[in-house]
Amino acid sequence: MKLFSYFRSSAAWRVRIALAWKGIDHGQVPVHLLRDGGQQRSESYLRVNPQGLVPALEEGGKVLAQSIAILEYLEETHPQLPLLPADPWRRAEVRAMALAIACDIHPLNNLRVLNYLKGPLGQDAVAVSVWYRHWIAEGLAPLEELARLHGDGKKYLYGNSVTLADVCLVPQVYNARRFGCDLAPYPTLVAVDEYLGTLPAFAAARPEAQPDAE
């Protein structure tokens, strides 16, 4: 198994957490999202993943894209230390929390979108930063509410163990901090993020622990 990754990509980071959590042996291929005008747009990478996005997972000569699809695949093929509960409704609640990040926050704030705001739409740095913080607040406020409803308020977003919701939370909180977002309104998310950071699998997946870290 080989993961195409960029140390700072939130979506690649999610998959790194799951691989580490489940102890799945794998290699890593760095794809630099800024160098050479974005290596994810290179002809060679587009042959790997026509979407031109990281992560991508290669196994047996075949390639899989989309972090959430990869996470579900790892969960189905490596059920040890499950990241989803057993009950269908509870599984769905966890997925809904993960997707509240993966569909409704992250896609609006990733590199290609910020570049489009700056380039074609001619927005200055202040407007881009206001945009970023707006979607963080729109997304994290209801997630804080769901975490209070479903989690233990301290260690996990949902129930009493690590789930896909936690896997999606950590990279999003890191990026919110990087862009100077105020996290004071989300004490539960901050507490859970802090606890998760103490777990070895989460520590191993952090950007600064990657081979391509800068």
In the complex, the residues that contact a second copy under the rule CB under 8 A are 50-53, 59, 62, 64-66, 68-70, 72-73, 76-77, 88-89, 91-93, 95-96, 99-100, 102-104, 106-108, 112-113, 116-117, 120-121, 123, 127, 130-131, 134, 138, 141-142, 145-146
From the CB of 139, what's the least distance to a second copy, in Å?
A: 8
Residues 6+ away with beta carbon under 8 Å from 192: 147, 151, 154, 155, 156, 157, 166, 169
Residues 6+ away with beta carbon under 8 Å from 32: 6, 38, 39, 212
Nearer to a second copy, 116 or 179 (CB): 116
From the CB of 156, what's the least distance to a second copy, in Å?
A: 18
How far apart are alpha carbons 172 and 166 in whole angstroms? 10
- Please report, for residues 42, 133, 144, 172, the alpha-carbon distance to residue 177 in angstroms, rounded to integers and kept in the order given: 30, 10, 16, 9
Report the amino acid identity of residue 72.
E
Nearer to a second copy, 138 or 194 (CB): 138
Nearer to a second copy, 25 or 62 (CB): 62
Which secondary structure element, helix H or strand E, spans residue 28, and what is its range?
strand 27-30
From the CB of 198, what's the least distance to a second copy, in Å?
A: 28
From the CB of 163, what's the least distance to a second copy, in Å?
A: 12
